[in-house]
Amino acid sequence: MNWPISARRFASASLFSTLLFAATGCEDASDLGVELPGTGSSSTEYQDFLVNASTVLQDSVETLKTNSYLIGRVRDNALGTTTANGYFNLKLSTLPGDTLPSLVAGTAPNPQLDSVVLVMPFESVYGSATTPLRVNVYPLVNPLDDQGIYNSNSSVAVDVTNALGTGLSARLNGSRKFNQRNDPSSTTDTSTFKVTVPDKTVRLKLNSPASSTAATVFSRLLDKSFNQSSLDAIWKGLAIQPVSDFTSAVVGFSTNGTSTSSVSRTVFYYHYANKKANGTLRGSYSIPFGNRSAGFGSTLSAPRYFTEIKTDLLAPFNRLQGAGGSALAIPSGETGDVVYTQLGNGIGTKLEIPGLQSLKDQAQAQAGNNPSIAINRAELLIPVQPYTNLLFASPNSNYLYEVNQFNQPLKRVLLNSRVERLVLSDAVNQLSPTVASIGNSFSGDTPTGYYQQAARASLFSVSDVNRYYDMVLTGYVQSYVYNKLSGAAPAAFILSPQLRQSGALGLERAVLDGKNIKLRVYYSKLQ
């Protein structure tokens, strides 16, 4: 059974309980007003186990067909500089409001291409939105392989000699105005007022299309026989990369759009004469990319895309890069008593909890098969360093991976597959979770199957200077103490906002108070 501990209790008693533990190591739970059903006050105690925290760099991160793609570069004085490049296949799909040029070519003389624009709705900006995004756009040498595996460490060849656009610029803090009716429900009142809202769309006009790849595509769009194979033969795909001196921001672009305005797309704007040849009409046609929802039947059939993410770490974190770096950890004592965990670039927090073994020894001290203590509740309390979420927003959740001494996730066999050993939620059998699937990254932004069972460290905000993550670990600590884990006990844990198969991608980051992370355990001594 689990009993909640209020944020107010944690905020007011954390320092007191830490000092108390330093002197005595444990305390009668009833002295703090914790009442545990079915136990006497003299037999119920709680104990804070301090945690050794350090920063590590995990292996590659899944970025194929995630819920967003990232483009840009941001410089951070704490960790270093992160660069994100996007790579995309293009796929024909008719979007509402578009007119295929071949449909007007038969009735109007010679439709003319005016411009080609990449239109890309975005959701988030990691860094400063006041400086315009500046990028280069290249065609791919070959399309992304439909069977290939791509992640944050992957890269593909681009055709730099036939650039589609260089030094292209787009505002990130623009706005747009529109008229909104005063009474939308009225059928007679047509009065309106002007509304100003942020314009969260990047528009990149490609180079003059006169002799470009895009112009060749448009000329073929006039042919009614044009199809996906025709497109692939001319235009292999897109690469969008920040220019070399852009370091202000990384932009997160949405990939879940279902309407035309919310889909990343290449738009061909053109004009043509009307039937009487005495006026000019305008049309547009879009070819989507970087989207997993709109117009493709299923996310599996949507065009492939992925984000390449490279971080040039500053000292002392640069020791984590290169051969053997993934087995290292930078203690919080070397980094101002803080540690880091970040989505997207593989930065995680390693947690070593020596007290777990001592609790296990205590539980098994009694002779025979009966344990000497009962674990009533366990929770991991992780304070967030104040005022550290200005450049990167804090992730709402973190997860725990069991790892060996080399920081490699331990494995378990599930449904004939080897999956990473996650600390699972209390509702799940830690030894043998029962699930119907491993998980599916194409089912939206909520993980399914095994990964849906992961325990979550949720973010709580008591005040601007008192924010912390709380993860309930009662079931896991019980399994650890009573020798019911799925394999050998881990050497440590890695706290990360990156959950496999969730489809989530961003650069949200938590800066944690590395000296005051603790595992709090409530237990009863059995007579």
Residue pLDDT, tens place only, 315-334: 999 999 988 899 999 999 99
Would you state the pLDDT for residue 269?
93
Please give the pLDDT value at position 109. Answer: 63
263, 344: one domain: no
What value does the mean pLDDT of the chain take? 84
Domain count, the chain: 2
Stretch 462-487: mean pLDDT: 92
Looking at the structure, tell me whether residues 296 and 349 fall in a common domain.
no
Kindly state the average pLDDT of the residues 151-160.
Answer: 95
**Residue 29 has what pLDDT?**
47
Q: What span, in angstroms and rounded, lies between the C-alpha atoms of 526 and 523?
A: 9
Does 11 score more than 80 pLDDT?
no
Any idea which of 44-53, 237-246, 392-401 has the lowest mean pLDDT? 44-53
Whether residue 205 is found in the same domain as residue 266: yes
Residue 2 lies in a domain: no
Identify the band that residue 223 occupies on the pLDDT scale cut at 50, 70 and 90. confident
pLDDT at residue number 503: 86
What percentage of the chain has pLDDT greater than the value 70? 85
pLDDT of residue 439: 61
pLDDT at 299 over 60: yes
Indicate the helix (H) or strand (E) that contains 69: strand 68-76
Domain check: are 322 and 216 in the same one?
no
Cis peptide before 316 (omega within 30 of 0): yes
* Cα–Cα–Cα angle for 289, 292, 293, rounded to 5 degrees: 110
pLDDT at residue 443 tops 60: no
Q: Would the pLDDT of 444 be above 50? A: no
* Eight-class DSSP state of 143: P
Task: Retrieve residue 94's tokens.
Answer: 């008719």
For residue 270, give its domain range.
Answer: 68-303
- How many residues belong to the chain? 527
Tokens representing 525 are: 């001594």
Query: Domain end: 271, 303, 335, which one?
Result: 303
Mean pLDDT computed over 228-240: 94
- Domain boundary (282, 303, 324) is at 303
Condensed to tens digits (0 to 9), the pLDDT of residues 80-117 reads: 999 999 999 999 887 888 888 877 765 556 788 999 99
Question: Average of pLDDT values for 243-252?
Answer: 97
Assess contact for 295 and 90: CB atoms under 8 A.
no
Phi and psi torsions of 292, nearest 5°:
-120, 15
Output the six-digit token pair for 253.
């672009």
Same domain, 335 and 220: no
Q: Which residue intervals of 100-210 are DSSP H helices?
A: 101-105
Looking at 276, 303, 330, which one is the last position of a domain? 303
Judgement on whether residues 366 and 513 belong to the same structural domain of the protein: yes
Q: What is the pLDDT of residues 359-403, one digit of tens each?
A: 888 877 654 566 778 889 999 999 999 999 889 999 999 999 999
Residue 367 is predicted with a pLDDT of 46
Residues 91 and 54 grouped into a single domain: no
Average confidence (pLDDT) over 419-435: 85
Does 282 lie in the same domain as 168? yes
State both tokens at 96.
Answer: 């509402």
* pLDDT greater than 60 at residue 454: yes
Category of 256 on φ-ψ map: left (φ > 0), alpha (ψ -120 to 50) or beta = alpha
Residues 195-218 have pLDDT tens digits of 877 889 999 999 876 568 888 999
CA-based end-to-end distance of the chain: 20
Write down the pTM of the prediction: 0.85
Asked if 284 and 321 sit in the same domain, the reply is: no
- Among 24-28, 241-245, 333-337, 486-490, the least confident range: 24-28
